[in-house]
Amino acid sequence: MNQVGKKQPFGIPGAEQWTMTSRFGRDYRIMMWKPDTEVPEGGFPVIYMLDANACFGAMTEAVRMHSRGPHRLETTVVVGIGYEGEQPFATERRFYDYTIQAAADELPERKIDAPWPETGGAVHFLKFIEEELKPAIEREVPINQQRQTLFGHSLGGWFALYTLFMKPDAFQVYAAGSPSIWWKNHYLLPVAKRWLTDRELTKPEEKSPLTIFLGVGSLEKPHMIQDAKALSELLRNSRSDMNSEFYLYEEETHLSVIFPFITRVIRNILKPI
């Protein structure tokens, strides 16, 4: 007769989580995975990812897998910013944290019979990341401050791009999967144009190195693909001295595209060893 041992919760080896309350009174579930390897000179690179309830496991396991085998890559710390609860997406919270305020006439009609959730928390959320979360992580593990990535999807991708245009020195790599560029009447497109113009006029020695990844699935709504391509063309056609990559993933939907996009970003930002 087979013997069945005591069942226990399963977790990713080396991962831990805790709750942080921002100075704005908002609670976050912080998830962190750190490598069990020697600290590299200058500290570990780090990936900060949004919607961690949905994506932290996928990102962390992808990093773990890519650190093995004949084509292995260096490893990185992964920090997930999530929320209390067991659902993949905390709809009300993410609509607030990942957006700037938008009036009803600046948004499309919602398909469900309910008003749009409260919006407008992006400024406070970015301050939380920069002024509270990053210092807390750096007290836990040595971080290379010149190798920081922000990863977001959908509205999280919008927030990643918003951060790029408002505070570009916050991270060196910005990964925006299926970004909701439609938000607030395509607010980000003219913002991007102004930012690119300013960057083109900046002296080369005053520009920080930047890499931007955009990814979208071929099965997404047409406007999602068109908007991502439009932003990609703006970035690529500028003379602003940065690396910009756009990926269209065949046969992937708005949600399934997260996984190949994670792999693509990891393979581009981590060095072979």
Contact criterion met (CB below 8 Å) for 81 and 129: yes
Contact by Cβ (8 Å): 117, 95: yes
Q: Hey, what's the torsion of the CAs at 230, 99, 128, 83, to 10 degrees?
A: -110
Rounded to an integer, what distance in angstroms lies between the CA atom of residue 214 and that of residue 212?
7
Which residues are CB-neighbours of 9 under 8 A, at least 6 positions away?
none
Q: In the annotation, is 208 catalytic?
A: no
Known catalytic membership, residue 138: no
pTM: 0.95
Which residue in 180, 220, 232, 252 is the catalytic one? 220
- Convert the pLDDT of each residue in 186-235 to its tens digit: 999 999 999 999 998 888 888 888 999 999 999 999 999 999 999 999 99
Residue ranges of domains in the chain:
15-269
Give the pLDDT band (50/70/90) at residue 86: confident
- Which among 154, 180, 232, 244 is annotated as catalytic? 154
Q: Model confidence over 158-173: pLDDT tens digits?
A: 999 999 999 999 999 9
Long-range contacts (CB closer than 8 Å, 24 or more residues apart) made by 69-72: 71/272, 72/272, 72/273
Catalytic residue among 132, 186, 238, 254: 254
Structure tokens at 88: 């993949």
- Residue 220 is a catalytic residue: yes
Rounded to 10 deg, the angle between the 188-200 and 222-237 helix axes is: 10
* CATH superfamily, with its number, for domain 15-269: Alpha/Beta hydrolase fold, catalytic domain (3.40.50.1820)
